[in-house]
Amino acid sequence: MSTATPENSPTIVLVGHGMVGQRFLEALAERGLTATHRVVVLCEEPRPAYDRVQLTSYFSGKTPEDLSMTDMAFIEEHGIELRVGDPAESVDREAKKVTARSGLVVDYDILVLATGSYPFVPPVPNKDATGCFVYRTIEDLLAIEEYARTRATTGAVVGGGLLGLEAAGALKGLGLNAHIVEFAPRLMPVQVDEGGGAALLRTIEEMGLSVHTGVGTQEIVVGEDGAVTGMKLSDGSELATDMVVFSAGVRPRDQLARDCGLAVGERGGISVDEQCRTVTDPHVFAIGECALAVDGRVYGLVAPGYEQAQTAAATIAADEAAFTGADLSTKLKLLGVDVASFGDAHGTAEDCLDVVYSDSRSGLYKKLVIGRDGTLLGGILVGDAEAYGTLRALTGSVPPIAPEALVLPAGAGAPAQLGPSALPDEAVICSCHNVTKGAIRGAVTEHKCTTVPEVKKCTKAGTGCGSCVKVLGQLVDAELEASGIEVDKGLCGCFAQTREELYEIVLALRVTSYQELLDRHGREAARGGDGCEICKPTVGSIIASLAPTIGADGYVLEGEQAALQDTNDHFLANLQKNGSYSVVPRIPGGEIAPEKLIVIGEIARDFGLYTKITGGQRIDMFGARVEQLPSIWARLVDAGFESGHAYGKSLRTVKSCVGQTWCRYGVQDSVRMAIDLELRYRGLRSPHKLKSAVSGCARECAEAQSKDFGVIATSNGWNLYVGGNGGATPRHADLLAQDLSDAELIRLIDRFLMFYIRTADRLERTSTWLERIPGGLDHVRDVVVHDSLGICDELESLMAAHVSHYRDEWAETINDPEKLARFVSFVNAPDTPDPVVAFVPERDQMKPDLPLLSIGLRPAETLEDVLEGSAQR
């Protein structure tokens, strides 16, 4: 129900409806101005405000609707007149009128310009040729996606800044060979220094992107049809490419202001005062990327824009407010790599010192800028930005612990890490909405918030970029505990117990079904119910891990267990983005006979599958329809293969080098050990996936120190490392024990894995668990090596039960007609192939037909459901 605005109310016209424009509307509503003013919004884009910060997530499956920041119920409730696709074309300041493209003329009392910025395209020949794009809006992304699908195999991005790297990642994700061309000598020159740029460069090149720094674009080369065929660079070289995406920075969109006589800066931007009023006209405000602030800067980050929106709304409401500048700290994830900078990141202050930790092999670079008096002035984090929230909040103060403790990774000899509870109340936790630690504490103590969602609603903290949510949760828990309020650490709304406590209950009481556990030990309100998406797969995993010991059926699709699984486990294969599945047979140690290679090739050929060798030394076959899976498995099983569990929270692979058998440096038979370990722990269900590797010497070719448990050969036996992982937040594994015999090694791994499964939280990798568990590595060593808790016999017994009861899930399925019945695309048309799953040829194989990706097919829909949905689309 809309709020009626009194007749003859003053009118506020907002030109532009991006993230900052939407925040301005919310600020008006918070001050009651939408009830006393008519509010008209003229929006150029064909859709309301959306999250431009997360724009690239469109290519990872998010839809434009997912990115929307506009609640139309809010627009209606506050009587806001929102006109999308109808931008302002002229302003008559003397008559105080705005004319829109549609011809609509709106009289205003207050005019707010939030026109944002436009992409800068270098003035090079043929910059407007077919195949040239910018990377700014959802419409830009749709056009890039279509061109990449139909006309391009290689793409080049001009610009190695924030959006440039995201654009390059998007092109790679679309299946193109991607290049980045950056005029500066390093990537992200504004945010990171030379060391950070080097770490970022190494990581990005390892992802398969080609980077060209220190060169500019001289000309876009076109063919006879006028389409892009290449680029000429300033060093005289030429780059062959079918597509060019310009992401070389932005410029303020101030033409509307120029046309109506408002003052603009020498390099662009509408000049405003501390209240965000234009210096030319007190009835006109400018906020966001189009505004030139009093400090002579145009801010291109969302947090300063939000602060400007708040300032303008407060000024209109006759409240005191001022915007004199903003913190340029930022934390991003680019191509899966954490990158953050804060404060005086480049050390421009006089007489400052640097504290640097650099590990180029892992792509880690951390630098803190410290004043002579110990004050933290700023810093740069590449590869691991876990400490960003704490470090940023400490900027401008003397940290209570040594600077090196703030940058050294866990397990590298650093003293105890500093938690957010040590921060002062004035420390800013959420930079997007300028929310301090004191405000968060107040939300708990004064406003009686008891959960993170309640605190987010009360303070807006965590509702911007989201980088502060983890710190926010830690502060809420700490404040509740300090107030004497018991913090609910239960797994979910169904169970008050943690995952570790539920494990102990299942083990001690021999609980063999989820429903029995819920009815006997769940919260009162949940008993007799169906559970939730958190506890069902968690309990399913616990029961599967303990199945041989408690007398349960360990097969994940048996009876009730089937209903507890997520999509991948439900079909014993990995669901891909176009609705097809991948099939990954187990290849222990990466060792495979020629006959088995031939079988895999024949299956891929006969079923038309895309094949790829994975980083775990296996062969992945993509593109199988759900009804084809049993037939593929049957041929693999006949050839001696079994499930590789690529779909499960279980052991994936044990990677291996060739070891002493072939390598002149090898000192142990790493292939044999890798095979023994993989066959021993195959199918072991755990809180998260498990990866392992065995290296035959200290040269570490199998990368064992980046695995959950890794083994490195020595002249005296084996060294065992635990708690490592690659991925977005890499961590080196810690040495647990050294110079072990074969039997000692296997015994310690048995104990380590079962202790992890027993005590870890839901979806917690061994690396995170090792850092969280009280006592860390020392405690784990005491338990699994020295048996300090007296449970090692039990841990070994549990593993022995798993090993002796292992069954291949693919073989179990194809030999049971009842289980086979679930593998259909449509429950009412089991013989009908899925019309949504389509492919196009590429590089002598096939790839998904990308325009179908947004359809979002769910397995086992009826055929009528899909056809009706497709017709509507």
Judge whether 663 is annotated as a binding position. yes
Q: In 181-261, where does DSSP find H-type helix?
A: 194-206, 255-259
Judge whether 449 is annotated as a binding position. no
720: exposed, middle or buried (C-beta count within 10 Å: 0-12, 13-18, 19+)? buried
Inter-CA distances, 456 with 424, 433, 436, 449, Å: 20, 11, 12, 9
Question: Using CA atoms, how far apart are residues 460 and 463, in angstroms rounded to an integer?
Answer: 6
And the tokens for 845? 């194989």
Q: In 522-666, where does DSSP find H-type helix?
A: 535-550, 560-563, 567-571, 594-607, 629-638
CB atoms within 10 A of CB 615: 10
Question: Using CA atoms, how far apart are residues 122 and 156, in angstroms rounded to an integer?
Answer: 14
- DSSP-assigned letters across all residues of 113-158: E---EEE-----TTTTSBTEEE-SSHHHHHHHHHHHHHT-SEEEEE
And the tokens for 672? 């044999």
- DSSP-assigned letters across all residues of 337-402: EEEEEEESTT--STTEEEEEEEETTTTEEEEEEEETTS-EEEEEEES--TTHHHHHHHTTS--SS-
Judge whether 701 is annotated as a binding position. yes
Asked if 657 and 675 count as a contact pair (C-beta separation under 8 A), the reply is no
Residue whose C-alpha is closest to residue 101's, from 250, 253, 251, 256: 256
End-to-end CA distance of the chain: 30
Is the CA virtual torsion 646, 652, 657, 661 positive or negative?
A: negative
Question: Using CA atoms, how far apart are residues 512 and 561, in angstroms rounded to an integer?
Answer: 10
Inter-CA distances, 245 with 1, 59, 169, 668, 801, Å: 44, 15, 12, 50, 57
The owner of tokens 């015994």 is 747
Judge whether 657 is annotated as a binding position. yes
**Cβ neighbours of residue 389 closer than 8 Å, sequence gap 6 or more:** 420, 429, 467, 468, 470, 471
**Cβ neighbours of residue 528 closer than 8 Å, sequence gap 6 or more:** 519
Question: Using CA atoms, how far apart are residues 709 and 733, in angstroms rounded to an integer?
Answer: 8
Binding site for [4Fe-4S] cluster: which residues?
657, 663, 697, 701
Binding site for siroheme: which residues?
701
Binding site: which residues?
657, 663, 697, 701
